Structure 1
């Protein structure tokens, strides 16, 4: 009988009772999901209203710089919006230029409530080409007011300038405004790109004009449900949802959801050749692959939930947000997608309709040949794979240094250009202050100690209220340099010795320093937690200690190799000037949790083949033949969805997207296909130690 046919063979009539139930159940499931979507849709749009991208939402919860931001909110005018006007003329500023600058500074002081009296100072550069006008606007509540203020300042600063005189607005307030403008376009861009890529890959994979619509529709339903659930979590637990966490959730949901769909559809197609009724084939397909899908989603969700232990607000908030997306994708793929497939019947696979009683052919033969090559040279393949990944991991030695604030965007906005101009024009001084908050009754002593700290150029007292006084402290060295970092450390040490002052050092540079330190601490806590939890889940699923150890070692190696490739391309090829401090931790969690997925699918099928009578070695080859093609497709889809992050204009998302995409591809085509299979071949039934399968000698094994 042909493996592919365009017409269905006639089948016997099913008994009326069970057949009626089989017809009704899929429609009932579809109806329930329609109701769920109808309930969820009104809440989807509200998530944007509670999405937060303030500095404090990306800062460590316990850091000094975070406490400074929170205390500033309680001072008159709240957390000030720090801006710096930068005027420049290549040949040197003229008297007319200086008059214009003074006029604009005075006009801005009249239009906005500055935290200092009178017009802000105009500070010229030594070469006479540039002046900067630093000031802080107080009394602004919420992102909209701050954004409007920055826009107004830019309009006033740049209106009707003499020819040759340029005006730019920098400072942390302008940087925050520009970041929000970038973030506003991310959600829509990311969703459109992701949908387009997934649709194309599904069409190529299924080679059907209809079938691809069902997984894509199911993922869309999962996206709606997850957004509504995340909104509910925000309302119930005040969960922090940032643009980064929502973007990552979108990619995870589409990538993982499509993977689950590919695996289910592949197993369903396989069972349609063995069962005449689609409902019976689907029931068998779910029994066969649902445990692996549940374990896979559970592993990813558990790994993400481990991020709750992180001190960094953006990382800890990402954990439950991502987990919700993955679990919603699982729920939809185990209920709605099966119902849609059963309702549509075999013809949904047209023109490659799997006929009852036919034999399947195609891509799995490629993996059969790969399995044969592994069985012939397992030691050489395992050794070569390990050496290759180790060599690639050496690229981590070339990773760029810590990412600076002004390097956070792929294309520099005006605020970054302004700060670059300041760095060139004022090479020997900081252009943005460190912010110190201390108890007012110790203000004089704190001011004296701050001014006397090595590396400090000047210090001045600012606002005072609620028992706290704010100080602006300027370092000698430029912002976010090693010298300024040393000054921040020295300032904190010196002020800590002022008893009763409770002094805190914050500001943009201190925030970046705290981010790096906190990410380092989070890595030492979260990475071991993820490894232990994933290992326990794998051990429970596979009933073995050896198989989980192999899978974990393999995915950690692929993550190290992917990060090493990042070191070879981030700065040399892509021009990314730094590595975001969160990249190492987040890519580890994603690479390990998602990479283990494919190991679960392979090992679960290997265990199934072993229980069906094959010895461990031949079970490994049979599992590779059965799952190779679909897992390769799933890996390509997942990697492609993460590559979408690399098209966004934010450096940390670009870095996360590229590392995870490369890690998934390495795991799909190198680690799982060669390294894990070769290790399983060499270990034989010992791969299931200490489970019962490790002690079970099968008939074909005894025959050899």
Structure 2
């Protein structure tokens, strides 16, 4: 029987709508002669990028990732105007195996350390000593303050000040020299450990030493293995891997240039995540295009015409997918967090490069080698595509045969997984950010065990000099503030150092900072501000909360608009976005359960929920785009919604599943870097991509489309009013 959408018979509409002209235009770049021009130009452009990109702009490892409006950032700005500015204290912790520390040996070690870092020390003539003491934040001098001893005299500490604005390399060299010098000649049973801001910066930098090579090797290895399994060809995998790998390196060079002409920071975390995005997205696009090309080779003798047809069909979906990810990443420009902004711009640049190489270079490279590239499974004209009657066709029939049961069961699975996130905790302390404890963390723990918890990272108060006494009294009256000392200043502002009774980065420390701010803000005429590492962590958490509130709806809005432009259906767009958000919530819940009960991980970093949401929503919707655009093609030929989605699942199931597994594996590669945040992002996004690929896209969406029927395409319909065959 036939169902009519209107009384008039109209020609079928182009199923790809807004993105169709681009697909047709790209088809013109794979002709017999043009393909060679495209490949040669790609080689020249890539070579120029490798040759002339230069080095990224140096950044300071100790620079806080905070907006200028944050109170702790304002404190840093005011400190920079004081005579004691530009100082980052490295703290040396001496611990005796038994009994009291040898003070004479500690003083000799301290002097060696001060001499070793002289070239990296601030020019101010203050002394080295204990945190919070007068002169304890300045540069070395001959009259050094004695070491500060713990109550049991088994631990001592001294401060060796370094310049606060050292770039990564210089800071690492200074800390390395300090660590070597203070350990030289120590008596048996006495150890020296260097911690503090510069040490944490150096240890974070060490995490990313050789990171580019490790990430590239691991990612390329994973992609190569999965492409070999997918194509079962000894050489087909080399073409997409070479194209995507080249695109990744060009994106890296482009990011280098961007870092020099803008405020984008090309640090290890940004470049690492960008590389994963380029490799993951670029390979996904390649898998979809090659699958469609192979399908067309079974219909068309001319390989150039087959690629044109493949581009007309696949390019709109790829452009919609890449456009969604690019716009979502660019939306991070609205974030207050400088790290998120840098990652957004860098990632968007990387995705654009991945799109260019996937849609311009890869098609030309593929048609250069002809059908023999697919050996031993060469697609021949007239041969039946096995996918039409394969396992995915059978799965589609089974799902749409009992859509209510399948949909309810799938939703139940997502709800159960989401329940794991009920106790979700966000906010890592500095000691919790490493998978393996570096020296800076060990030293921090030794300090916490022997001295008041906040000794190593005191809060910093900046007040007008005229109100310094009143602010000091107000600060001393705050519960949990153990001592307040003058740490520097001039005739305009005074810097105070307040030692808290809470370990750095903890909820208790945040509560102390809030109470301290309330107290000093109330002092008339003081204009007092509270900063320091705990205040920075608190402000970072506040910033992340604000960014999530702003960016979650922005990202969802971008995805909905792109889906409506592509599918011209409000129902389809809202439904698909809803399923992807459900995937995010379920993945976050399941991952958090694993972090707490299986992996013993600390709370999530403050920016992790936002980044995981961005990647899962923007990348996760890719697979639904690939599925539903193919379903719209089938529907444009007159197939009912149920049959259209089953056919689409049958022909795209294998390639999309391969793409999902590959993307999940690529994100898992972030685990080669021993930072907890990157490992957590890798797990959340990797699990979410698998969940979206294997459950949501393969089972839930077909079941929902079957239940909705032709209403899934409302308000338009792919047939443009022609009858739908039942």
TM-score, L = length of structure 1: 0.92
* Match status 1:475 vs 2:490: no
* Match status 1:274 vs 2:283: no
1:699: Cα distance to partner? 4.3
1:462: Cα distance to partner? 2.1
1:237: Cα distance to partner? 2.9
Partner of 1:152 in structure 2? 177
- CA contact under 8 A between 2:657 and 2:693: conserved in structure 1? yes
Q: Deviations over 1:144-191 (max 9, x none)?
A: 333332222212221122111111111122111111111223222111
Distance between the aligned counterparts of 1:231 and 1:431, measured in 2?
35
Partner of 1:687 in structure 2? 712
* Match status 1:528 vs 2:535: no
Distance between the aligned counterparts of 1:389 and 1:44, measured in 2?
46
- CA contact under 8 A between 1:688 and 1:694: conserved in structure 2? no
The correspondence for 2:399, drawn from 362, 374, 392, is 374
Q: Deviations over 1:340-364 (max 9, x none)?
A: 1111111111111111221121597
The correspondence for 1:399, drawn from 417, 424, 427, is 424
Distance between the aligned counterparts of 1:98 and 1:364, measured in 2?
81
1:441: Cα distance to partner? 4.4
The correspondence for 2:91, drawn from 65, 84, 94, is 84
1:87: Cα distance to partner? 1.3
The correspondence for 2:36, drawn from 27, 37, 47, is 27
* Match status 1:101 vs 2:106: yes
Q: How many correspondences in the alignment?
A: 680
Segment of structure 1 superposing worse, 386-395 or 123-132: 123-132
SS at match of 2:356: helix
User: Aligned-residue CA RMSD in angstroms?
Assistant: 2.3
Distance between the aligned counterparts of 1:152 and 1:314, measured in 2?
29
- CA contact under 8 A between 2:208 and 2:673: conserved in structure 1? no
Distance between the aligned counterparts of 1:349 and 1:395, measured in 2?
44
Distance between the aligned counterparts of 2:206 and 2:472, measured in 1?
37
1:217: Cα distance to partner? 1.1
Partner of 1:122 in structure 2? 147
SS at match of 1:184: coil
1:210: Cα distance to partner? 1.1
Partner of 1:63 in structure 2? 70
- CA contact under 8 A between 1:430 and 1:477: conserved in structure 2? no
- CA contact under 8 A between 2:464 and 2:493: conserved in structure 1? yes
- Structure 1 residues 55 and 341, CA, compared in 2 at 3 Å: closer, same or farther? same
- CA contact under 8 A between 2:100 and 2:152: conserved in structure 1? no
- CA contact under 8 A between 1:547 and 1:687: conserved in structure 2? yes
- CA contact under 8 A between 1:223 and 1:253: conserved in structure 2? yes
- CA contact under 8 A between 1:78 and 1:140: conserved in structure 2? no
Unaligned segments of structure 1, at least 5 residues? 1-17
The correspondence for 1:431, drawn from 456, 465, 482, is 456
Distance between the aligned counterparts of 1:229 and 1:82, measured in 2?
35
Segment of structure 1 superposing worse, 260-269 or 571-580: 571-580
Distance between the aligned counterparts of 2:595 and 2:509, measured in 1?
25
The correspondence for 1:677, drawn from 669, 679, 702, is 702
The correspondence for 2:51, drawn from 21, 26, 42, is 42
- Structure 1 residues 278 and 57, CA, compared in 2 at 3 Å: closer, same or farther? farther
Segment of structure 1 superposing worse, 677-686 or 497-506: 497-506
The correspondence for 1:197, drawn from 222, 227, 245, is 222
- CA contact under 8 A between 1:429 and 1:475: conserved in structure 2? yes
Partner of 1:490 in structure 2? 515
Distance between the aligned counterparts of 1:363 and 1:119, measured in 2?
81
**RCO greater where, 1 or 2, for CA within 8 Å and sep 6 or more?**
2
Q: How do 1:612-627 and structure 2 match up within 5 A?
A: 612-627=637-652
1:134: Cα distance to partner? 3.5
- Structure 1 residues 84 and 544, CA, compared in 2 at 3 Å: closer, same or farther? same
Distance between the aligned counterparts of 1:468 and 1:43, measured in 2?
47
SS at match of 1:219: helix
Partner of 2:15 in structure 1? none
Distance between the aligned counterparts of 2:454 and 2:633, measured in 1?
67
1:139: Cα distance to partner? 7.4
Partner of 2:287 in structure 1? 262
The correspondence for 2:252, drawn from 205, 227, 241, is 227
SS at match of 1:52: coil
Q: Deviations over 1:225-258 (max 9, x none)?
A: 3223323333333323332121111001000000
Q: Deviations over 1:467-500 (max 9, x none)?
A: 4432221113332333322221111122223344
- Structure 1 residues 140 and 63, CA, compared in 2 at 3 Å: closer, same or farther? closer
Q: Deviations over 1:603-648 (max 9, x none)?
A: 1111111001101111010111111111001001111100001232
- CA contact under 8 A between 1:422 and 1:431: conserved in structure 2? yes
Distance between the aligned counterparts of 1:324 and 1:251, measured in 2?
13
- CA contact under 8 A between 1:595 and 1:667: conserved in structure 2? yes
Q: Deviations over 1:127-156 (max 9, x none)?
A: 332222245334764333333322222122
* Match status 1:636 vs 2:692: no
1:399: Cα distance to partner? 3.3
The correspondence for 1:167, drawn from 184, 192, 213, is 192
Segment of structure 1 superposing worse, 434-443 or 180-189: 434-443
1:42: Cα distance to partner? 2.4
- CA contact under 8 A between 1:240 and 1:314: conserved in structure 2? yes
Partner of 2:528 in structure 1? 503
- CA contact under 8 A between 1:367 and 1:625: conserved in structure 2? yes
Distance between the aligned counterparts of 1:541 and 1:648, measured in 2?
38
Partner of 2:203 in structure 1? 178
1:110: Cα distance to partner? 5.5
Partner of 1:389 in structure 2? 414
Partner of 1:608 in structure 2? 633
Task: Name segments (4+ residues, structure 1) moved above 6 Å.
Answer: 18-21
- CA contact under 8 A between 2:60 and 2:166: conserved in structure 1? no
1:466: Cα distance to partner? 8.9
- CA contact under 8 A between 2:414 and 2:586: conserved in structure 1? yes
Partner of 1:458 in structure 2? 483
- CA contact under 8 A between 1:75 and 1:466: conserved in structure 2? no
- CA contact under 8 A between 2:90 and 2:161: conserved in structure 1? yes
* Match status 1:299 vs 2:306: no
Distance between the aligned counterparts of 1:61 and 1:296, measured in 2?
34
- CA contact under 8 A between 2:645 and 2:702: conserved in structure 1? yes
Segment of structure 1 superposing worse, 505-514 or 670-679: 505-514
Structure holding more helix per residue = 1
Distance between the aligned counterparts of 2:398 and 2:29, measured in 1?
49
1:78: Cα distance to partner? 4.1
1:445: Cα distance to partner? 3.5
Segment of structure 1 superposing worse, 301-310 or 354-363: 354-363
* Match status 1:322 vs 2:347: yes
* Match status 1:566 vs 2:591: yes
Distance between the aligned counterparts of 1:368 and 1:127, measured in 2?
74
- CA contact under 8 A between 2:660 and 2:690: conserved in structure 1? yes
1:432: Cα distance to partner? 2.1
- CA contact under 8 A between 2:75 and 2:461: conserved in structure 1? yes
